[in-house]
Structure 1
Amino acid sequence: MDANTQNISEVTIALIDSLKSTTSHYGLANSGSEYKIITEMFLYKYFNDKFGYEAKRDKIYGERLSKADKWDAEYDKFTEEEVEDLFSYLPASVPLLKPEHTLAHLYNTSGAGDFSTRLDATLIDIANLNADTFSVVTSGKSRVNIFSALTQFVTDPQKRDDFARSLMSSVASFNFESVFAEKYDFFSRIFEYLIKDYNNAGGGKYAEYYTPRAIAQVMARLLVGDNADLRGMTCYDPSAGTGTLLMALAHQIGEDRCTIFSQDISEKSSEMLRLNLILNNLSGSLPNVVQGNTLTEPYHKEENGALRKFDFVVSNPPFNLDFS
């Protein structure tokens, strides 16, 4: 890891710790909602920086944005037509943000009243705008959007604005742009740290038993070898959890040369797997992420109803469950 990556890793970990400090201060540490607050705020920051990074590289509008002192301030000047035009040029996997969605735009309104409502509304609006790209489904084919209202988890309405400001303050202090090209090697380490307190055997009936990344990498090398000629591979995990095995497999094959399929009964695991795919440049596989019971409702089937077959199957089954 070079010095720059080491530094951004340390700053990113500090961001996560700051978010956790906020949830703890407001009595939400170890609550069922804490992981949603932390992972969704982290992802909002990622979306903001990823959109800015890609918008500044656009052939039509990139020069205008990149030459501005602050790209988001310049973006605030875009007309609705220019915004829609920019959207049409961006790659399909890039999260879309309107000018009022950017972190800077929202942060600049943090001194106004009812800021918690504004933060929640912004997240939900972004989720709806990006629903076709970043939603996952349940086995009953219900859509699960990427963001939800977060400040509702603070039971005292009088404290929600301060809670929202504290969350925003945590994510406003640095930029991810310098590490977007690194994909797996950077974000896999960050993902491990991000979910470490919510990914253990103490999580109840559907606890997420974590496969260490080093073991996942060995398994992937054994399965794939050094074959650099693989193309169009399908990779499946019927008990995917947060996706460590799938990420290692995709990295060994090449993220642009495989498609991920998964199912897991845990809502929390499915949300974290979605985050993992986004951070590792595998957003195109999100339509194949399913929350549901693989044993009783296997989702991935052929048109004739037969279970689908895949090029690679990996799994760390939930051995704590009663399979009788």
Structure 2
Amino acid sequence: MVEKVTQQQINSVLWQAADTFRGKIDSSTYKDYILTTLFIKYLSDSYKENLEEYTKRYNGNEERIQRALSRERFVLDEYSTFDYLYSKRNDPEIGEIINKALERIENENTGKLRGVFRNIDFNSEAILGRAQERNAMLRSLLEDFNQLSLRPSQLGNEDIVGNAYQYMIGLFASDAGKKGGEFYTPAEVSEVLAQLVKPQENDRIYDPTCGSGSLLIKVAKQVPNGKVAIYGQERNGATHSLALMNMYLHGIDDAKIEWGDTLANPMHLEDGKLMKFQAIVANPPFSLDKWAMGFAGEGTNDKKFKMDASLDPHRRFEWGVPPSSKGDYAFVQHMLYSLAENGRMATILPHGVLFRGSSEGKIRKQIIDMNLLEAVIGLPESLFFGTGIPACIMVLKKDRKRNDILFIDASGEGNYEKGKNQNRLRDKDIEKIVETYEKWETIDKYSYVATLDEIKENDYNLNIPRYVDTFEEEEPVDMNVVKENITNIKQELQEVEEQMEKYMKELGL
């Protein structure tokens, strides 16, 4: 019987591999090397097992073996396998050998893996240090992974490698502090967004700032047979690579994840217009400064550049151009313009979007007047990596039948679990949010259904405490009890002073 590899075994090897880099380079950087090596090991072990099986089946007939291998998900040759790299672990050119192997893997699988590794350089002196240190780290990395078998027949459940990948991304995010939030949304928050947009079979699901893709995968997993089309865009090159590998490790081979600035250069187009999606989820960077720089022409002076709605060929900013130092509503408007007629979107934002004035106030008014805003949900503080600020979720919908807006304040004590550095939502907290949203009800100190008139009376200010009163009345003070306490304290004080006097006399002071 084949011995199964457990989740814990994989996770512990990954953790050990992280120790190789710890203290030498930043975890937000070294994660790229560990996760890429995990991906290569997974491709390699699958290839090795297929090769053995076909060699046996076709009695060593090379032509038939190769034909069978070419029909598999991924094609490898022996010079791009993990075993080949491991055999070269002591080679002074090991960094370059790994780079060449990655290039071969891409070339053999252009349809699927084109460009996946282009932003990851195993021979980078700038990141990995001089040859001697770099080679020592890479050798150690290959030795760590060599202990691990990721053959399909040994992986008890097919999600095990994908889970390990997610586990590591989560650990790296908490380790990387502020930078962690750039590539990872905590799993529990992703779960809330996924349940709020309720993807259906055959939906197109989109995340315009997809990071390492974990949020998209959560949403896709809501549809049991997985029949959905996945689209994402990510600005950071190395993170874009991680997102593609993440998709493959979760068995999603047809995700369309593009690399580029979503605001200045949205890549998901149909007939030159923004593509439309039924479900959109996002955790965009909070209040992104200089969000519009991509619209500035070559040679434009940063300081003098002023964004204007006319500069956007997709006309996303006609309701207002967000302030240059706060990109929140730029992402919201991009998503609204990308929503299909029956589309739903849920996005994480800082609370400022609910009440800030000037151009943001104008955009907010337009969204409410067009009856696109469905719900505002306040989350507990310190849920996200690298920032303690509490965030909220805005749920927006096209073709809304209702004309009221639900406010939920899920930030109070008892609605989350406190952690040392980070708080988290428990299953029951997620259920409470989703259930309140589905039942659309007012619950004392937790939620409130506001009419559009109430919101207009509040000058379109959506600050949650205006609608959900979480104020706890303090117990009235009983003055008699207070008086009695004071008398008791005086009595005790007198006794202590008398005792002190005695001791002083005994000591002759």
Q: Which residue of 2 is the match for residue 321 of structure 1?
A: 288
Q: How far does the alpha carbon of each residue in 1:221-253 deviate from its partner, in whole angstroms, 9 at most, with x for none?
A: 34337x7xx2x3311111212222211111111
Is residue 100 from structure 1 mapped to residue 90 from structure 2 by the alignment? no
Change (3 A) 1:51 1:314: same
Change (3 A) 1:248 1:207: closer
CA distance in 1 between counterparts of 2:215 and 2:278 reads 15
Q: Which residue of 1 is the match for residue 243 of structure 2?
A: 273
Is residue 130 from structure 1 mapped to residue 109 from structure 2 by the alignment? yes
Identity of aligned residues (%): 22
Q: Which residue of 1 is the match for residue 41 of structure 2?
A: 45
- Alpha-carbon contact 1:124-1:148 (below 8 Å) kept: no
The 3-state SS of whatever aligns with 2:273 is coil
Q: How far does the alpha carbon of each residue in 1:51-105 deviate from its partner, in whole angstroms, 9 at most, with x for none?
A: 2344456xx546369xxxxxxxxxxx885x5664233332xxx222112322223
Q: Tell me which moved more, 293-302 or 155-164.
A: 155-164
User: What amino acid maps onto 1:63 in structure 2?
Assistant: R
Pick aligned residue for 1:311 from 257, 274, 278? 278
| Structure 1 segment 207-226 matched on structure 2, within 5 A | 207-208=181-182, 210-224=184-198
Pick aligned residue for 2:57 from 40, 63, 82? 63
Q: Which residue of 2 is the match for residue 73 of structure 1?
A: none
CA distance in 2 between counterparts of 1:39 and 1:283 reads 18
CA distance in 2 between counterparts of 1:296 and 1:12 reads 40
Unmatched segments (≥5 aa) in structure 1:
66-76, 136-142
- Is the helix fraction higher in 1 or 2? 1
- Alpha-carbon contact 1:61-1:86 (below 8 Å) kept: no
Q: Which residue of 2 is the match for residue 150 of structure 1?
A: 122
Is residue 23 from structure 1 mapped to residue 21 from structure 2 by the alignment? yes
CA distance in 2 between counterparts of 1:147 and 1:130 reads 17
CA distance in 2 between counterparts of 1:171 and 1:149 reads 18
CA distance in 1 between counterparts of 2:165 and 2:29 reads 18
Larger Rg: 2
Q: CA deviation at 1:166?
A: 1.2
CA distance in 2 between counterparts of 1:208 and 1:84 reads 42
Give the CA RMSD over aligned residues.
3.2
TM-score, structure 2 normalization: 0.49
User: What amino acid maps onto 1:174 in structure 2?
Assistant: L
Is residue 88 from structure 1 mapped to residue 78 from structure 2 by the alignment? no
- Alpha-carbon contact 1:211-1:245 (below 8 Å) kept: yes
Q: CA deviation at 1:220?
A: 2.5
Q: CA deviation at 1:127?
A: 2.8
User: What amino acid maps onto 2:288 in structure 1?
Assistant: L
CA distance in 2 between counterparts of 1:148 and 1:78 reads 37
- Alpha-carbon contact 1:22-1:167 (below 8 Å) kept: yes
TM-score, structure 1 normalization: 0.74
**Aligned positions, number:** 285
Is residue 118 from structure 1 mapped to residue 111 from structure 2 by the alignment? no
Q: Which residue of 1 is the match for residue 450 of structure 2?
A: none
Q: Which residue of 1 is the match for residue 260 of structure 2?
A: 292
Change (3 A) 1:111 1:294: closer
Change (3 A) 1:307 1:180: farther
